[in-house]
Structure 1
Amino acid sequence: MASQTVVVDRADDDERFLATDLLVWFDEPESAPTATQLEGVPPDQRFAARVEDGAHDPATYPGIYGVRPMQLSVPYAGGGRWVPMAGLTWVGVHPDHRRRGVLTEMLRHHVEQTHREGVAVSGLHASEAAIYGRHGWGLASQSTTLSLGRGTTFTAPGLDETAAATTTRLATETGDDLVRRTIECEQRVGEHQPGSVVGDEGYYRAVLRESPERLRDKEPRRMLFAVRDGVDVGLAAFRRTHKWEQHRPQGTLEVHALFGDPATRLALLRRLVDFDLMATVKLPETALDDPLWSWLGPRAASDVLPADNLWVRLVDLPAALPLRSYAADCDVVVDLVDPYAPWHAGRWRVVVDAGEGRAERTDAAADVELPVWALGAAYLGGGNLLAHQRAGLLPDAPAVGELWRAFRTDLPPATAIGF
């Protein structure tokens, strides 16, 4: 197809923005007002692509994307630290404008806009994983989905006492009260688990809102909170589905989110596998090193599938590096390849000293040339640069190992909520 001139700016028509999303993602239209359906993506964070030549549908945009203002927990002083992150979401290109440069221009605009707003890190969950690595995002955390049978045994003698002192109870709050309780709980938990993400109140109102169209004979989402010493220390969000075979209950309990330290997760999981009328518990986004794997016996889980979780892109290296702490010293000159961010590309001296990192411009000879996605992948301590090097994706240079020893963490990052 012929190329087209693409201009990206803030969307000025909410109806058109929503109509484009419904066309791209082919969801069932909801009866809720447009403003309600768009909640969680602030008006000034809704962007649209326009074409300056060629035909287009006036009721939709050629492309759209949104940004959720979020906080990302990064490695810091043996725990975590909340830092701002631009949560890229609602990315879609009209079917009539595919493969004509619309997505590329939107992603370029997002990187530039994020930089203008002074946010050093962008993150996303990829619907099609092959796309975003080409534009500078690196896979920073991975997860698995799995299923457990009702009554699964979890063996963790060192945690039994604390788990037993943890009360699990279904939430009675609704509306804004539930939103506030959920945010406070996830902030408290995620601060100690690098890789975690929390959104603002608008995001949680959007996530917790359940329209009649979304439910369609489904059980409303249930929130199970874990409380210890009078404080919320974790939660699980889930929904049950009825099923009967030969007059026996074979229902499925699907967990949408699970937060907490190991003892809290143990208490929540023991409750989740013990609901009446259920035969299967499905767990999403379980980290590769989650304590669950140690608590289970061999082959106790079924339908185990690997999945990518959070993708991270650095848009301002000298601003991003001091936000986290590091495991080892390094002094490496990196020639950063970033065709979508000219202020970013070029040679940087990356220095880590006593756990603190910085990047400064230099004219010194480069020790290694790296694509920007590599630093995004390593930023949370999960994207092993040496593994990428061994796979032939990064240059065979000693500086890669020096960087990785600085960026790595004792444990891989936690899984992030979807947005």
Structure 2
Amino acid sequence: MTDLRVGLASDADRYLATDQTVWFAEVLSASTEEQLLGLPVDQRFAVDVDGADPATYPGIYGVFPMTLAIPGAADAPRQVPCAGLTWVGVHPDHRRKGILTTMLRHHFEEVHAAPGTHVSALHASEPAIYGRHGYGLASHELVVTLSRGATLTAPDLEDAAGTITTQMATATDPGVPARLRECHLAVAELGSVVGEQAYYERVCQQLPENLRGKEPWRVLFARRDGVDVGFAAFRRNEKWEHARPSSTLDAWAVVGEPATRLALLRRLLDFDLVSTVKVGTVGADDPLVLWAGGPRATGGIETYDSLWIRLVDLPEALMDRAWSAPCDVVVDVVDRAAPWNEGRWRIRADDTGAATVERSEADADVRLPVAALGSGYLGGANLLGLARAGLVTEQRRGAARELWHALRADVTPVAAVGF
């Protein structure tokens, strides 16, 4: 069997060349470190084997250090460290040799050994892959299309929205990455991921090849009493049809509490020379659809998977979050990739929202893959629904319902920004 060695990627050019081979996008003229902006040197990993092409690695992956907003006390999300898995790729010459499995096991071991980090998360390029490695789909994203000038109705938010002023900046303006991070951290809702400042520097990066026929990314900051309370990142694509403006405004994310988002969205819907506004990173239960008058009042809604979550240190991850109801359930967890999670655990949550998770020799009430707990971790994916679908096995009648009622959250997780 081929000896696969996983470690830090010592050659940044080789790392980048591997990514370019796997994803086959246009090769950019920027320097290697410019293209790797935001991905810490000590979080770039690669697989090597004897006889491999010295210009590329057989496989690579990276990690963005992030925080994840999970259920907390008094309905306020709690932000915990999260390993944002990214830049995953296997060279075409080395497929089906166990490289992805080896890299992910290395990743889980790295996270498990890191003090205070108990979960990994990702956005899946191919969703079928990551469920096999213990990631569960924890939130959904909508992309909502609206016509310019669309009316958003929210009577009880009018006064609060009226206190918001907006200020437009360009992503490359000095200080914008720091403002984005500080604001995002302050208003993060359940299911949000927030990166370090280098992540926002990457978001704001404007390389020439990415600007062909497009304007630079703009940021619309929402302010109240001189303080940033939200933002919208967007850009417009110039287009004319029959001598009439027909441009599309693409909003990558609109961040803030509801009244703030209402004010930002109304501003986005009122730009000159724009005919269509597409808003991405919209949560499954985001009020935007209600403000617009329902799904048929929009120009269309597309639904995608958003954040996939993997419990790397199962007991610690489950004890990190607040629980919404008491429960006493023994779960038999299947986790081949992180064997320290495998086996039976007794989950006891009390009426204060705290839980203990300990090894147990008792008969299991529920048998489930670790991915199911990842899906339910933010309180959005219905564990009882997974049992009805045959993806979770209930061995004590009512146990899946009991566990789900303790896991669920009052609000659906928001969609997470891409990384």
TM-score (norm. length: structure 2): 0.96
**Residue number in structure 2 paired with 1:240:** 236
Q: Deviations over 1:176-220 (max 9, x none)?
A: 511111111101110xx1101110011111111111112123100
5+ residue gaps, structure 1, are none
Is the deviation greater in 364-373 or in 172-181?
A: 172-181
**Residue number in structure 2 paired with 1:350:** 347
**Superposition pairs of residues 179-218 of structure 1, within 5 angstroms:** 179-190=177-188, 193-218=189-214
**Residue number in structure 2 paired with 1:295:** 291
Matched, 1:9 2:7: yes
3-state SS in 1 of match to 2:341? coil
**Superposition pairs of residues 219-238 of structure 1, within 5 angstroms:** 219-238=215-234
Shift, 1:338, TM fit: 0.5
What one-letter code is carried by the residue in structure 2 that aligns with 1:23?
Answer: T
Q: Distance in 1 between matches of 2:410 and 2:359?
A: 30
**Residue number in structure 2 paired with 1:309:** 306
Aligned 8 A contact 1:349 1:360 in 2: yes
3-state SS in 1 of match to 2:304? strand
Paired residues, number: 413
Q: Distance in 2 between matches of 1:219 and 1:65?
A: 31
Matched, 1:264 2:260: yes
What one-letter code is carried by the residue in structure 1 that aligns with 2:417?
Answer: I
Aligned 8 A contact 1:175 1:205 in 2: no
Aligned 8 A contact 2:315 2:358 in 1: yes
Aligned 8 A contact 1:87 1:123 in 2: yes
**Superposition pairs of residues 79-94 of structure 1, within 5 angstroms:** 79-94=76-91
3-state SS in 1 of match to 2:175? helix
Q: Deviations over 1:140-196 (max 9, x none)?
A: 001211210000000111001111111111026845511111111101110xx1101
What one-letter code is carried by the residue in structure 1 that aligns with 2:225?
Answer: D
Is the deviation greater in 127-136 or in 21-30?
A: 21-30
Q: Distance in 1 between matches of 2:255 and 2:182?
A: 12
Matched, 1:40 2:74: no
Q: Distance in 2 between matches of 1:264 and 1:15?
A: 43
Q: Distance in 2 between matches of 1:276 and 1:405?
A: 48
Q: Distance in 2 between matches of 1:225 and 1:4?
A: 52
**Superposition pairs of residues 137-148 of structure 1, within 5 angstroms:** 137-148=135-146
* One of 253, 269, 275 as aligned partner of 1:273: 269
Q: Distance in 2 between matches of 1:93 and 1:148?
A: 39
5+ residue gaps, structure 2, are none
Q: Deviations over 1:256-280 (max 9, x none)?
A: 1110111011101100011000000
**Residue number in structure 1 paired with 2:279:** 283
Matched, 1:98 2:95: yes
Q: 1:16 to 1:182 in 2, by over 3 A?
A: same
Q: Deviations over 1:292-312 (max 9, x none)?
A: 111112412123111000000
Matched, 1:131 2:129: yes
**Residue number in structure 1 paired with 2:401:** 401
Q: Distance in 2 between matches of 1:174 and 1:16?
A: 28
Aligned 8 A contact 1:73 1:197 in 2: yes
Aligned 8 A contact 2:367 2:394 in 1: no
Aligned 8 A contact 1:242 1:252 in 2: yes
Q: Distance in 1 between matches of 2:13 and 2:103?
A: 20
**Residue number in structure 2 paired with 1:178:** 176
Q: Distance in 2 between matches of 1:387 and 1:131?
A: 22
**CA RMSD for the aligned pairs?**
1.3
**Residue number in structure 2 paired with 1:332:** 329
What one-letter code is carried by the residue in structure 1 that aligns with 2:108?
Answer: V
Aligned 8 A contact 1:18 1:34 in 2: yes
**Residue number in structure 2 paired with 1:58:** 54
Percent same amino acid at aligned positions? 57
Q: Distance in 2 between matches of 1:18 and 1:143?
A: 29
Q: Deviations over 1:349-401 (max 9, x none)?
A: 11111200221112222112111001111110111101111111111342211
Aligned 8 A contact 1:176 1:205 in 2: no
What one-letter code is carried by the residue in structure 2 that aligns with 1:32?
Answer: A
Aligned 8 A contact 2:379 2:407 in 1: yes
Shift, 1:31, TM fit: 2.3
Matched, 1:390 2:388: yes
Is the deviation greater in 365-374 or in 79-88?
A: 365-374
What one-letter code is carried by the residue in structure 2 that aligns with 1:244?
Answer: W
Aligned 8 A contact 2:171 2:205 in 1: no
**Residue number in structure 2 paired with 1:364:** 362
Is the deviation greater in 226-235 or in 125-134?
A: 226-235
Q: Distance in 1 between matches of 2:388 and 2:170?
A: 52
Shift, 1:96, TM fit: 0.8
